[in-house]
Structure 1
């Protein structure tokens, strides 16, 4: 099926560092595994995306996943019309970025893994984790394409630290094991986080092993769609210091600072 949007660029989303199972297939085509589903997407035109799924599946999963009901064009237009030249360039360069609504547990584990790893290493580690602990499935819509789902909390909770090490986790193996066990046992209910405020969400997430303020903000932004979150990694810290002399004012972007952060990150990572 085809969908139309003036702010939907597959390459920009795939390279934005917010998801790790969206990969290029060539000719403006990408594969994506999320919510136990496999899908292929093609950038037909700047404002047209082709999806391999049915309309029913799109409405059930992918419409919300790609946050299609949010007006990103208004945000981008505001940045382009603003007085901040860095953000103008970032918005122009990254136009088409969207904040994905990802599975909370997958986002949590992925960003625990992401600490002190580059994106290719994160992707490799996650794929090994999925092949070892996820379920093998096939996609009828994509010619029987075989893929692996993201592991459940229970499957990771029952793993041994020794086996987890074989997936390239390094010192993160204990974090993944303890956090998966906490989720599996119900020490924390990830679904109830959706009903908490942003501030309460950050507090709850940081009770988990391997989750500090940066990872908590990433999970809040990419897994719980708190678009007011503003994760600060090494790239964003560099921008705040070098461009804004550590005096960046978030107030004008209250309520959508996470979108601004995403444009900042994509721009600095791909141009500097």
Structure 2
């Protein structure tokens, strides 16, 4: 474990209780801004030079610098009554190595992104034209359950509203982690917490609309399938089987299933096709018909084109194009 810690040149910035930890890697292997606000995860916000967010039931503060990232991590204190949890509990030195491993896994830093960018630039002029500005866009390795419900919330929605809904789910049904800078942060709820009477009504009363029913029904289905045992089995399934299994959930169509396959199940060839990706695909497929909805046949054709163009990790490459297109779209608003 110590060899792993030193291998990646990770060290404490100071020995006091207000320390920042540093995780080092090659330049341009990770861009926090493009990765954390590109529509993958909805629990991150930027405050000045920091990104603050929740994953693995912990609160993380992360800052970018040229050769890596600096971070602090906070966890809950189960020994104190809930009403007294006002002071943040910071990660101790004994868990520094564990926290570094969690970050490496979350950002999938063992995936050599610069090497793949070089290949994708050679394969595609459009990718080459955006690669310099949209460098270091990585796929996050997210918790399956949170990803399922987050993308159910994404149906006919925009990022700020999706973020609000996901945060409400955590506040209503998640476990409190800590309070920091005037805000209280919560872990994403368990399937047991979401599978209880009154969830649909409460969510509908709080602005979830038709998604309230989708969330309540899906929580019930997952619980009936075995809960965490079903998630473990899902993680072991091949791509097509996992996608089909996900589509048995209420509110999970092909696009949402592919998001979950790509972002939580390590199926790097999954291509989620939405209106942005459809418009990007028109750049490549000259005879593609203009239509308001993407048929199953067209969905498959678009995905196959990107997989042929970029290879086994096409989902990563397509995400870079998605982020570039999303930036243009936001600039027009």
TM-score calculated relative to the size of structure 2: 0.75
Give distance in 1, aligned partners of 2:96 and 2:201. 43
Give distance in 1, aligned partners of 2:178 and 2:239. 37
Deviation at 1:91, TM superposition (A): 2.2
Query: Residues 138 and 144 of structure 1 are in contact (CA less than 8 Å); yes or no, is this contact kept in structure 2?
Result: no
The one-character-per-residue Cα deviations of 1:156-195 (angstroms, maximum 9, x if unpaired) are 1114221111332210111111111111233560111111
Give distance in 1, aligned partners of 2:133 and 2:100. 29
Query: Residues 23 and 100 of structure 2 are in contact (CA less than 8 Å); yes or no, is this contact kept in structure 1?
Result: no
Structure 2 residue aligned with 1:4: 24
Gaps of 5+ in 2: 1-20, 74-94, 289-301
Give distance in 1, aligned partners of 2:318 and 2:40. 11
Structure 2 residue aligned with 1:129: 169
1:158 pairs with one of 189, 196, 205: 196
Give distance in 1, aligned partners of 2:193 and 2:306. 43
The one of the two structures with greater contact order (alpha-carbon pairs below 8 A, sep at least 6) is: 1
Deviation at 1:143, TM superposition (A): 7.9
Over aligned residues, Cα RMSD in angstroms? 1.9
Instruction: Spell out structure 1 runs of 4+ moving beyond 4 A.
Output: 142-145
Number of aligned positions between the proteins: 267
Give distance in 2, aligned partners of 1:224 and 1:79. 22
Secondary structure of 1:126 counterpart: helix
Gaps of 5+ in 1: none
Give distance in 1, aligned partners of 2:107 and 2:212. 30
Of 195-204 and 90-99, deviating more is 90-99
Structure 1 residue aligned with 2:293: none
Give distance in 1, aligned partners of 2:62 and 2:233. 32
Task: Decide which structure has the larger Cα Rg and report it.
Answer: 2
